Amino acid sequence: MRVVGWIRYVLPLVLCLATSAEEPLPRGAIARLGMPVQGWEGGVLGVAFSPDSRALLASSADGGLRLWDLGTQQPLWESKGSPRQSIAFSPDGSIIASAGEDGVVRLIDPKTGKQTRVLEGHAAPVLRLAFDPGGKLLASADMSGAVRVWDVADGSTRSNWSVGGQIVWDLSWSEEGSTLDSTWADGTVRILDSSTGEERARCTCDIPLRTAMALSPDARLVASAEEGFAVRLWDATTGKELAAWMGHERCTHSVVFSSDGRLVASASKDRTVRFWEVASGQCALVFPLPESLVWSVSFSTNRALLAAGLQDGTVVLYDLRGAQVSAASMEDAWKALGAPDAAGAMGGIEWLVSHGDRGAEELGARLLAFDEAHVRGWIDALDDDEIKVREKATEELTRVRIAAGNLLRDALERSASAEARARIRAILEATSMPPYSDETLRAVRAVEALERIGTEPAQRVLREIAKSPHVAPEAGAAASALRRLETVRGR
């Protein structure tokens, strides 16, 4: 979950006029929950999907907390209390954490809505909550910059520290649970030791007139919103700007990464939400918003839905996959995977997913098969006298680098030519940061399709891709996809 955290304290609570329950849904939306005539008196400060994507939790400025069953679109329960700025599910969905204006962290049973434990210690409003990967620890950060780590089982404080009066914008745990990855209102990215609070790494992104920052799940990238029209992507390690995505016509005020890090959603005062594909830097989808300011946004774990919590007290649900147009054939899907057009690529992915094991087998055949004699010939051509021949060989080897990785690594060790070694190294390493070249783009999109298919044949192909050079983007993407699939199986 990512929320426009500090808006509750920077902007006054100005309620919108009640909207008619008969108002038509925006294009791409499948539901609008908690209509003002039925429900809340304040804006929606936080939205969070359950880990299985079957329920949606929302908190309102009037202190309401409500859980919906997304199958029936009916509330399961509702409670009242202090306005809750941050809400979160534990990884297994067995605990809800909520906190906000009074500085108290409350643990709640999602089945009943009943409070099970109160965690007290913050002296300022709590803006962010994050469970560790095992669900045994909970981190909380307040408006003064104080961070606490709690033991969920007994409510004790494991550690606490302060980063010096800064307002946190994003907070998450590393995959192994040893660090807390965070972004702050001063534009910094800080990697903090989860036991001591010691900074293990820090960089500053020079974001003009920033209004929000979100960290990717792997803590490698930062997306930012600003008073201008751009949504920017940054290297979270160096602070280097990687891309500026243009398309909004007014200020952007909310950004969020999908749980797999492949999409960024941005909401703007131009009354649109845009979905940006990180790998290509292209806009894949644009949906209109109702006439109400977005206060919070969240992707479902399976990335099929996006929830937008609005100032008028409603939550709009968007169906990302229902808006995509599938390719017509395997050949169309394959071409789409390597093209810059993100919308077309999403259609190609949908075609592959809809064909299940056939789609996985087709991808495996195209990604992993190669002609050894041709590859050896192209490797020899890397040292040809003609530059055109060397460039053509580089292009062909890049196309088959996943399948022919062992031959390329062997050639890297044996080649006497400095130029040939440099070209092979560049082919193997590719670029580690987006936007990617066409062949890398095709490979990381193929990984997405294989993860979505999720069957054993698809996982076999993912395991082969994960054997690629560890710096290649598709190798890391495949390894992450396999870990997510393992997590889903373990639920």
Number of Cβ atoms within 10 Å of the Cβ of 373: 8
126 with 99: CB under 8 angstroms? yes
Give the residue carrying structure tokens 């280097």.
240
372 with 380: CB under 8 angstroms? no
Tokens read off for 351: 């075609």
Which CATH architecture is the domain 2-323 placed in? Answer: 7 Propeller (2.130)
Question: Residue 468: which of 403, 374, 395 has the closest Cα?
Answer: 403
d(CA 299, CA 292): 19
Give the pLDDT score at 15.
31
Tokens read off for 225: 């919103």
DSSP string, 53-78: SSEEEEEETTSEEEEEETTTTEEEEE
**Residue 431: CB partners within 8 Å, gap ≥ 6?**
437, 440, 473
Give the pLDDT score at 221.
95
Residue 385: DSSP 8-state: S
* Partners of 351 in the β-ladder: none
Residue 151: DSSP 8-state: E
Give the pLDDT score at 6.
32
Q: Which residues of the chain have pLDDT under 50?
A: 1-21, 35-39
CA distances from 429 to 11, 51, 332 (A): 46, 34, 28
**CB burial of residue 18 (10 Å; 0-12, 13-18, 19+):** exposed
Domain-wise residue ranges, the chain: 2-323, 330-490
Give the pLDDT score at 38.
46
Query: Given the DSSP bridges, would you call strands 2-3 and 29-33 parallel, antiparallel or unpaired?
Result: unpaired
Give the pLDDT score at 431.
64
**Cis, bond preceding 469 (omega within 30 deg of 0):** no
319 with 28: CB under 8 angstroms? yes
